[in-house]
């Protein structure tokens, strides 16, 4: 009964969504305020019924209802309860329902908080969101329904959740990712509404930016969590593989970064309007493309869901409709919205535009690499692989260019900057960065490594330039510190930019200075790596809730003192009888000590892999900083001011009417 109710609830939600896609748009086009006013209640209706549907699916999991096919495939009565909750979105069908739920959540949040905005405009935005929701709901209901039943012969037990997924990473990583991906739909909808109404002023950018910042920040967290999870869970110490699915999550993020900066320019200077709209369309389009790549079976990845060309076709149609529709609208309606504000060559606008272009070049590059094997295969030219060696070669130079620009841009004025500013403010910093960069690999590792010099030099540059600019910004004309001077967005920028610098440090250090040892260890033996001594004391048998494991006991010494006990495991899960390895990790700011068990050898010896990974935790801290900066920006007063907005609205409308 419950699953049928869940299915029914989703269908009701679909009905609401269809109404939402049509009625407010009709109302907005015909100036019918009554119809326009339906937008918000319809949005809440969609949200409510989607939520009910999701909760009912969850209850099927929690109550071990294995008559539901999806539950039988992804759960088990011995599965710990928190993973039952996570298993709801652990498979393709359920994760789609989560996508829909996220979309409706964003739409509802918009409906609730946009009471100050122009009603007809908001109605259009919600209608576009409604269309997207309709697309995803149809996809779920028609090809990937999680409520399908296994009657009359259903199993007494489920197949259990994949052991690799039975981890806290599963509980947090996908929801954050989906929040980010689906969140870009808001910017997309705003862009479509702007194109429809021909209305794209600074106010439009101001409305759009906080939503984009929110989505982008969640996506930043999601990507960071994914990277961290892969690192400690897969047991082989990697944290980014340029796997097509990873790229699918990264590309919207890069474009999202360009978008939030472009929105800033449109908001403050009225420039780049067409460009910003195109970026807003692209960010969400890339989210959809990512969904396609992951679920259609078109690319080869450990992350992809079980694929089905039928589903792939549906998503392609969804992707096609959204993108072709929006880009056609763009092609016809964009030129009406020409920017009126001008800027010189040496101006902040130029720097931000240059940064935007670099980010788009980066996205295009990642997209090219990801799709190239498909291209080659489709043209019958064989099968090739494109992996980390390619991406690192083409991507890192772009990051380098960006890091340089990020240091300079904050000191450059809008519209027209005086000559000589760079030399005066940052000339010394630039010099110091070069010296630091060159010296670093000698001091740290005793030999020169080009990319280490580049990476550390850039990080030094970015941190110093950012902090120096911060100090200048808070110092008032009398030379005293005045923290109220810069607005909140400025601090957000500082935090995020420092986060990027941190990521550069972490990536550079761990890539070039990590050490690894694959070695046979007998009980009682010791190995040394990078100044740490690892002593193998033997194995212990351990029982988990749904697995048994052999747990290794490794004492780690530094300078003769024991600093930690690492306990890596080889687990056998009872249901899927799949073996799995859990690494033993000791983390500090400056390094991770990482031990993973290989196979048992003769004589109670084991094959063991030992890593020392310097500064790897900076990567996760960096992700947190970047996201945190985004949230800080979002909280800026100018996005929250309510009453002011109304009068501002009226003034703008009056002025616009005059001109």
Partner 1 sequence: MKPLVSMLLGLLIVLSGNAIASSVETYQFSKSEYEVRFQDLNKILRCPKCQNQNLADSNSMISQDLRREVFRLMEEGRSDDQIIEFMVMRYGDFVLYKPKFDGVTYFLWLGPIGFGALGLLILGTVVFRQRNKRNAVITADESSGEHLSSDEQAKLDRILKRDSD
Partner 2 sequence: MKRFILFLPLILFLVLGAFLYKGLFLNPKAMPSALEGKPVPEFKLLTVTKGDRIVTKADLLGDYYLMNVWATWCPSCKAEHPYLLDIARSGVPIYGINYKDERAEATKWLTTYQDPYKFSAFDVNGELGLNLGVYGAPETFLVDHKGIIRLRYAGVINANSWGSKFVPLINDIKSEIAELAGDSES
Q: Burial level of 122, CB count in 10 A (0-12/13-18/19+)? A: buried
Looking at 65, 93, 243, 582, which residue binds partner 1 (CB under 8 A)?
Answer: 243
Helix (H) or strand (E) holding 164: none
Binds partner 2 by CB under 8 A, chosen from 335, 478, 603, 647: 335
Q: Binding partner 2 by CB under 8 A: which of 316, 438, 474, 575?
A: 316
Helix H segments across 334-410?
A: 348-378, 388-408
Distance (Å, whole) CA 48 – CA 118: 25
> Smallest gap, in angstroms, from Cβ of residue 330 to partner 2?
7
Residue 524 engages partner 1 in binding (rule: CB under 8 A)? no
Residue 201 binds what, of partner 2, partner 1, none (CB under 5 to 8 Å, by partner type)?
none
Work out whether 439 is an interface residue with partner 1 (CB under 8 A).
no
Q: Report in angstroms how near the CB of residue 289 gets to partner 2 at its nearest.
A: 8
**Residue 1's binding partner, choosing from partner 2, partner 1, none, with beta-carbon cut-off 5 to 8 A by kind?**
none
- Check binding of 344 to partner 1 (CB under 8 A): yes
Residue closest to 221 by CA, chosen among 635, 627, 631, 629: 627
**Residues 193 and 124 sit within 8 Å (Cβ to Cβ):** yes
Stretch of 8-16, 93-101, 501-509, 594-602 contacting partner 1, by CB under 8 A:
594-602
Tell which one of 35, 110, 202, 627 touches partner 1 (CB under 8 A).
202
Q: Is 651 in the site for partner 1 (CB under 8 A)?
A: yes
Query: Least CB distance from residue 316 to partner 2, whole Å?
Result: 6
| Calpha distance 353→444 (Å, rounded) | 37
Residue labelled with tokens 């080889």: 570
Return the number of the residue (113 or 576) whose C-beta is nearest partner 1.
Answer: 576
Q: Which of 328, 450, 528, 651 binds partner 2 (CB under 8 A)?
A: 328
Q: How far is the CB of 433 from partner 1 (least distance, A)?
A: 23
> What CA–CA distances, in Å, run from 502 to 256, 277, 612?
20, 31, 19
H-assigned helices in 30-62: 33-36, 39-62
88, containing H or E segment? none
Residue 500 contacts residue 622 (beta carbons within 8 Å): yes
Give 336's DSSP letter: G
Contact set for partner 2, span 252-281 (CB under 8 A): 274, 278, 281
What is the SS3 assignment for 176? Answer: helix
Residue 218 C-beta: closest distance to partner 1, Å: 26
By three-state DSSP, how is residue 233 classified? helix
| Helices H / strands E in the chain, number of each | 20, 10
Binding to partner 2 in span 378-437, by CB under 8 A: 378, 382-383
Query: Which region among 1-9, 210-218, 311-319, 417-425 touches partner 2 (by CB under 8 A)?
Result: 311-319
Residue 644, phi-psi category: left (phi > 0), alpha (psi -120 to 50), beta (remainder): alpha
Total site size for partner 2, rule CB under 8 A: 33
CB of 181 to partner 2, least distance (A): 18
Helix (H, G, I), strand (E, B) or coil at 292: helix
Rg (CA), the chain: 27
| Min CB(103)–partner 1 separation in Å | 29
* Residue 234 binding partner 1, by CB under 8 A: yes
Residues between 355 and 374 that touch partner 2 (CB under 8 A):
371, 373-374
In the complex, which residues of this chain contact partner 2 (CB under 8 A)? 274, 278, 281-282, 285, 292, 296-300, 309, 312-313, 316, 319-320, 323-324, 327-328, 330-331, 334-335, 371, 373-375, 377-378, 382-383
């Amino acid at each position: 009964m419950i699953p049928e109710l869940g299915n029914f609830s989703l269908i009701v939600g679909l009905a609401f969504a269809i109404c939402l896609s049509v009625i407010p748009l009709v109302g907005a086009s015909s100036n019918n305020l009554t119809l326009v006013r339906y937008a918000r209640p319809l949005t809440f209706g969609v949200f409510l019924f989607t939520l009910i549907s999701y909760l009912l699916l969850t209850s099927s999991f929690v109550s071990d209802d294995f008559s539901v096919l999806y539950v039988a495939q992804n759960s088990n009565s011995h599965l710990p309860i928190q993973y039952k909750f996570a298993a709801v979105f652990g498979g393709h069908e359920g994760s789609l329902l989560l996508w829909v739920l996220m979309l409706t959540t964003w739409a509802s949040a918009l409906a609730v908080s946009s009471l100050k905005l122009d009603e007809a405009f908001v109605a259009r935005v919600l209608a576009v969101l409604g269309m997207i929701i309709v697309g995803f709901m149809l996809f779920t209901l028609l090809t990937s329904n999680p409520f399908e039943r296994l009657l009359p012969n259903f199993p007494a037990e489920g197949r259990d959740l994949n052991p690799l997924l039975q981890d806290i990473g599963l509980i947090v990583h996908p929801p954050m990712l989906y929040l980010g991906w689906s969140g870009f739909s808001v910017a997309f909808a705003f862009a479509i509404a702007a194109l429809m109404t021909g209305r794209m002023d600074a106010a439009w950018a101001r409305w759009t930016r906080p939503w984009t910042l929110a989505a982008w920040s969640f996506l930043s967290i999601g990507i960071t969590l994914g990277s961290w999870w892969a690192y400690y869970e897969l047991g082989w110490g990697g944290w980014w593989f340029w796997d097509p699915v990873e790229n699918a999550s990264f590309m919207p993020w890069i474009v999202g970064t360009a978008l939030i900066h472009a929105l800033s320019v449109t908001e403050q200077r009225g420039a780049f309007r067409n460009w910003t709209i195109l970026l807003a369309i692209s960010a969400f389009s890339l989210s959809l493309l990512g969904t396609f790549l992951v679920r259609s079976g078109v690319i080869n990845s450990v992350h992809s869901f079980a694929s089905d060309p039928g589903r792939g076709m549906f998503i392609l149609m969804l992707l096609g409709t959204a993108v072709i529709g929006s880009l056609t609208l763009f092609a016809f309606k964009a030129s009406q919205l020409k920017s009126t504000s001008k800027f010189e060559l040496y101006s902040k606008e130029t720097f931000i535009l240059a940064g935007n272009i670099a980010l788009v070049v980066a996205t295009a590059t990642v997209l090219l690499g990801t799709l190239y094997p498909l291209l080659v295969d489709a043209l019958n030219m064989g099968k090739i692989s494109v992996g980390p060696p390619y991406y690192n070669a083409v991507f890192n130079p772009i990051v380098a260019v960006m890091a340089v620009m990020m240091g300079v841009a904050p000191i450059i004025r809008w519209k027209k900057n005086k000559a000589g500013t760079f030399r005066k403010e940052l000339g010394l910093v630039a010099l110091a960065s070069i010296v630091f960069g060159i010296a670093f690999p000698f001091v740290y590792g005793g030999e020169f490594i080009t990319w280490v010099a580049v990476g550390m030099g850039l990080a030094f540059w970015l941190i110093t330039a950012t902090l120096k600019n911060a100090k200048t910004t808070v110092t008032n004309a009398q030379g005293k510190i005045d923290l109220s001077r810069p607005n909140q967005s400025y601090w957000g920028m500082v935090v995020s930019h420092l986060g990027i610098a941190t990521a550069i440090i972490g990536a550079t250090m761990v890539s070039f200075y990590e050490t690894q040892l694959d070695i046979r260890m007998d009980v009682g033996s010791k190995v040394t790596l990078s100044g740490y001594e690892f002593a193998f004391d033997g194995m212990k048998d351990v029982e988990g809730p749904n697995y048994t494991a052999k747990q290794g006991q490794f004492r780690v010494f530094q300078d003769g003192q024991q600093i930690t006990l690492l306990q890596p495991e080889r687990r056998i899960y009872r249901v899927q009888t799949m073996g799995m390895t859990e690494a033993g990790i000791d983390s500090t700011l400056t390094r991770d000590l990482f031990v993973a068990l290989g196979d048992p050898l003769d004589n109670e010896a084991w094959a063991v892999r030992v890593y020392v990974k310097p500064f790897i935790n900076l990567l996760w801290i960096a992700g947190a900083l970047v996201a945190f900066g985004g949230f800080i920006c979002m909280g800026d007063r100018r996005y929250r001011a309510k009453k002011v907005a109304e009068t501002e609205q009226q003034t703008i409308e009056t002025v616009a009417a005059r001109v």
